[in-house]
Chain A
Amino acid sequence: MSLLEVRGLRLDLPAPSGAIRVLRGVDLSIEPGGSLAVVGESGAGKSMLALTLLGLQPEGADVRGSIRLLGRECVGIGDRAMRRMRGGGIAMVFQEPQGALNPVMTIGRQVAEGPRRRGLGRGAARALAGEALARVGLDPARYPLDLYPHQLSGGQRQRVMIALCLAMRPKLLVADEPTTALDATVQAGVLALLRDLAEGEGMGLLLVTHDLAVAAAMTERVAVLYAGHIVETGPTAAVFARLAHPYTRALAAARPGLDGGGGVPIGGRMPSPRNVPPGCPFAPRCPRADDRCRAEMPPLAAGADGHAVACFHPHGRGT
């Protein structure tokens, strides 16, 4: 049984000027112990996808399609049932930790809340919280459990958020940019920890990131999201061996290197979800686009190695 199975997921946000079409038919799945990276440009819909999976989409949003979490259908089951699902096996690291932590509760109590809800005693839960914090590099000897979030640095807060999720012992962890505020050493530590949990305890991981290198290091599969569509997906090794979609290529070229190379911005802007042109959403910025691209959306076509790309003119091997 898959931990997560998403089919044809659409998300429309209501707006006075007509619906905002944020997600437009997303398919993905994660097996126990499996990992998937969702990468894409700012505003592509990554956070909205993550939030929708947990039933946390903005109020009044219209969700269609199917989300099966731990074998249960979650679209349209109502708030209360969804809250129970969240308590039992899925956790989320939010993109901006500031808003997700309670400013008037000590970090120890916040991290201990998950274990407490599982029925652990106060002392045991506190010990577990200390352990979880130590695992993300916040040793209680140096960073006592009774600190408040505002007494921590940005990166430390982000790690508290991660510890809080780990202490819940989730079967599936949805992590939205979990390491953006972390320097390379701590980032590597946290990523290594997440991999340990995926491999050792069979935790599923959905990792939202804009950093292709993080995706490359961390996950077995990647999905590239652009303007609410998955435009390229497949096993990480296969995708990185041949970046087929012109958008993924451009994304890779934009990455700055330590030697001062790279760093080429992609010209133009991603279309706003309020006002979506017909055809491939990348066509206006794509050097390979022709009239067909501007008229119809290319389907996501899979090759033999499971590497799928939604493009009429994908890059081949070596081009």
Chain B
Amino acid sequence: MTGPLLRIEGLTKRYRPPSPLPFLNGPPRTVLDAASFTLAPGEALGIVGGSGSGKSTLALCGVGLLRPDAGRVVFAGRDVTGERAPPGMQMVFQDPKASLDPRRRIAAIVGEPLRPAKGEREGLVAEALGEVGLDPAVGGRLPHELSGGQRQRVAIARALVARPRLVWLDEPVSALDVSVQAQVLALLWSLRERHGLAYILISHDLAVVARTTERLVVMEGGRIVEAGTTAEVLARPCHPYTQTLLDAVLPFDPKAAKARLERFRRDRPRGA
């Protein structure tokens, strides 16, 4: 393949802190600080980082729903910086409930990115719902009539139904139980193999990125602090923050998990 599918160059986003009086704002806070990486066609990249480290901001700037203060986004050889939702790119939002129009039925929501004729459309929607483990009969329901995990899967089905070349997934499986999670991650992987789908998976769950991505980017305080192949980063974390993240993963065994939590309680400075 020639050239990368996506090139992010020095993306930066700043917000002014709120202040009771206009004109008295302090210096702007940089929540995304010169993030750069590239993605080859059909590649799977993971982004991990603490809460508030700028992952969602990076994704929103990447798909053009947020205007970066500096930097460039080059998609399929074209500069799409600031262009809202360039064709071929999709995104799954972090909060699935907020990303579904409360007044539209599930079938209409999932079918929205599709253009073709009606009959074909119904089939594609049903197929997309089935792929994420939902009964196609939910197509007739409204978002509030689904459980949290079912809504999250609807959002994933919508992002994948039109077979984009690249999809940003912001915590796509956080509300899913492990079984459905495994199914969705397997779906992503197989779309990658069959259709050359490239994806960027934002997750706080290291186990999830470990099994579904080839390369990994670690963010902290708006900066990319570590990058490399997933296996390498997880096996030999260089940055202390990555180390902390790895340490905090709860083991499955109740004794070990409790012990880990106890240690965390002891080490934690009071009041933090």
Query: Cβ of B177 and Cβ of A210 under 8 Å apart?
Result: yes
Which chain A residues border B55 with CB–CB below 8 Å?
Answer: 153
- 8 Å CB contacts to B: which residues of A192-228? 192, 195-196, 210-214, 216-218
Query: Cβ of A188 and Cβ of B210 under 8 Å apart?
Result: no
- Given A146-B20, A188-B261, A256-B181, A180 and B50 contact (CB-CB distance below 8 Å): no
- Given A41-B179, A137-B272, A264-B182, A213 and B251 contact (CB-CB distance below 8 Å): yes
- Given A183-B49, A183-B50, A251-B178, A189 and B253 contact (CB-CB distance below 8 Å): no
Query: Cβ of B50 and Cβ of A186 under 8 Å apart?
Result: yes
B165 at interface, CB cutoff 8 A: no
Query: Cβ of A154 and Cβ of B95 under 8 Å apart?
Result: yes
Which chain A residues border B18 with CB–CB below 8 Å?
Answer: 144, 146-148, 151
B186 at interface, CB cutoff 8 A: yes
Query: Cβ of A144 and Cβ of B171 under 8 Å apart?
Result: no
Which chain A residues border B246 with CB–CB below 8 Å?
Answer: 184, 258
A105 at interface, CB cutoff 8 A: no
- 8 Å CB contacts to A: which residues of B169-228? 170-171, 174-183, 185-186, 204-208, 210-211
Chain A proximity mask over B44-57: 1 for CB below 8 Å, otherwise 0: 00001111100111
Chain A nearest Cβ from B29, distance in angstroms: 9
Query: Cβ of A41 and Cβ of B180 under 8 Å apart?
Result: yes
Which chain A residues border B271 with CB–CB below 8 Å?
Answer: 134-135
B74 at interface, CB cutoff 8 A: no
Query: Cβ of B210 and Cβ of A260 under 8 Å apart?
Result: yes
Which chain B residues border A258 with CB–CB below 8 Å?
Answer: 206-207, 210, 234, 246, 249
Chain A nearest Cβ from B261, distance in angstroms: 5
Separation of A213 and B98 alpha carbons in the complex (Å): 28
Chain A nearest Cβ from B13, distance in angstroms: 12
Separation of A183 and B211 alpha carbons in the complex (Å): 17
- Nearest-neighbor residue (CB-CB) of A134 within chain B: B271
Separation of A316 and B15 alpha carbons in the complex (Å): 58
Chain A nearest Cβ from B146, distance in angstroms: 8
Query: Cβ of B182 and Cβ of A188 under 8 Å apart?
Result: no
Chain A proximity mask over B234-272: 1 for CB below 8 Å, otherwise 0: 100000000011101111111101101100110010011
Interface centre among B17, B204, B260 (most CB of A within 10 A): B204
- Nearest-neighbor residue (CB-CB) of A40 within chain B: B177
A232 at interface, CB cutoff 8 A: no
Query: Cβ of A214 and Cβ of B250 under 8 Å apart?
Result: yes
Separation of A187 and B174 alpha carbons in the complex (Å): 12
Separation of A272 and B146 alpha carbons in the complex (Å): 11
Query: Cβ of A183 and Cβ of B148 under 8 Å apart?
Result: no
Query: Cβ of A156 and Cβ of B207 under 8 Å apart?
Result: no
Chain A nearest Cβ from B251, distance in angstroms: 7
Which chain B residues border A218 with CB–CB below 8 Å?
Answer: 261
Query: Cβ of B96 and Cβ of A256 under 8 Å apart?
Result: no
B97 at interface, CB cutoff 8 A: yes
- Given A153-B56, A183-B49, A196 and B265 contact (CB-CB distance below 8 Å): yes
Which chain A residues border B176 with CB–CB below 8 Å?
Answer: 42, 210
Query: Cβ of B186 and Cβ of A265 under 8 Å apart?
Result: yes
Stretch at the interface among A80-88, A91-99, A288-296: A91-99
Which chain A residues border B171 with CB–CB below 8 Å?
Answer: 154, 180-181
Which chain A residues border B249 with CB–CB below 8 Å?
Answer: 184, 258
Query: Cβ of A217 and Cβ of B135 under 8 Å apart?
Result: no
- 8 Å CB contacts to A: which residues of B52-80? 52, 55-57
- Nearest-neighbor residue (CB-CB) of B170 within chain A: A154
Chain B nearest Cβ from A273, distance in angstroms: 10
Query: Cβ of A263 and Cβ of B51 under 8 Å apart?
Result: no
- 8 Å CB contacts to B: which residues of A232-257? 236-237, 240, 250-252, 254-257
Chain A nearest Cβ from B103, distance in angstroms: 15
A21 at interface, CB cutoff 8 A: no
Separation of A132 and B77 alpha carbons in the complex (Å): 48
Which chain A residues border B182 with CB–CB below 8 Å?
Answer: 254, 256, 263-265
- Given A192-B264, A263-B211, A217 and B186 contact (CB-CB distance below 8 Å): no
Cβ-neighbour of A254 out of B15, B94, B181 (below 8 A): B181
Which chain B residues border A263 with CB–CB below 8 Å?
Answer: 178, 182, 185, 211
Separation of A42 and B181 alpha carbons in the complex (Å): 10
Query: Cβ of A266 and Cβ of B179 under 8 Å apart?
Result: yes
Chain A proximity mask over B112-150: 1 for CB below 8 Å, otherwise 0: 000000000000000000000101010000001011111
Query: Cβ of B253 and Cβ of A240 under 8 Å apart?
Result: yes
- Nearest-neighbor residue (CB-CB) of A148 within chain B: B18
A sample of 21 inter-chain contacts (CB < 8 A) reads A42-B180, A95-B148, A159-B51, A177-B175, A180-B174, A180-B175, A181-B171, A182-B51, A183-B51, A184-B204, A184-B246, A185-B50, A189-B272, A210-B177, A237-B254, A250-B179, A254-B179, A254-B181, A256-B211, A265-B180, A265-B182
Additional A-B contacts beyond A153-B56, A183-B51, A256-B207 (15; CB < 8 A): A41-B179, A95-B175, A146-B20, A151-B15, A154-B51, A156-B52, A183-B48, A183-B248, A184-B205, A217-B260, A240-B253, A256-B178, A257-B207, A260-B211, A269-B135
